[in-house]
Structure 1
Amino acid sequence: MPVIRWLISKTIQFFLGSAQERKSDAIAKRKENGAFEGASASKDRKFEENYAAAARLLRTRIDQEFPDAYYARLSSGRNSSYDYGQDRALAIDTMSIAIAMALRNGATVQQAATAGAASIGI
């Protein structure tokens, strides 16, 4: 009796498993060709658009508060020998994390930009 159960289970697994494998292979091929979009594809695209919009809202304020080294040397009132690049990179990293976390938690673009600005003190 156990042999018959084992044989039946292996037969069912063979037919159902191979159907699932064919479906998985078809999805993988469509993904490689760029034709497959799952449920999360539009959500990810929306996240990227919202992230870019929030970063654009803060671009001018970041440039004023944390200039890159080239513009810092050209502007008056800035120490031309100081490397502002690391300060800017750290501020952008911190802001990026805050924006991403806010968007992942369901914030709007404006709320995410506000969270990003608050995280770096501008």
Structure 2
Amino acid sequence: MSTKIFVPLTKTQTNWPTIEQECYAIIQAIEKWDKYLRGHEFILETDHEPLIHFTNKEQLNKRCERWRLKLAEYRFKVKHIQGKKNHMADYLSRSPVEIAEEDIEERPQYESTSTQTDLSFSSLNNNLIPLK
């Protein structure tokens, strides 16, 4: 299986060092494909060479240490590929398309209600009623 995933970053995440942005994308991809990867050895290809030694670094900040612990749950090897051979990843990371954020105010809000009509039959009626 070979896949490339575009992981949009928040404004705060765009200020992270490049290695953290790249590692975050890997964590997101591994979590998405967990059911296919867990228990199997796989090769993680990256054009960001410092990631090859990420799991062996001695000094990491707390965020990176959490990610390293998460990655320790998987059996994989990191393989460096030259950026010029990684066209799709470069295209996705430099895509000018902005990611639209969902406006929570525009979504319908629902309230859950339940009523019990007969104790001997334990019948419950669950209904969703739009809030006003």
TM-score by length of 2: 0.23
Which structure dedicates a bigger proportion of its chain to strand?
A: 2
Which structure dedicates a bigger proportion of its chain to helix?
A: 1
Q: Please tell me whether Structure 1 or Structure 2 has the larger radius of gyration of its CA atoms.
A: 1
TM-score by length of 1: 0.24
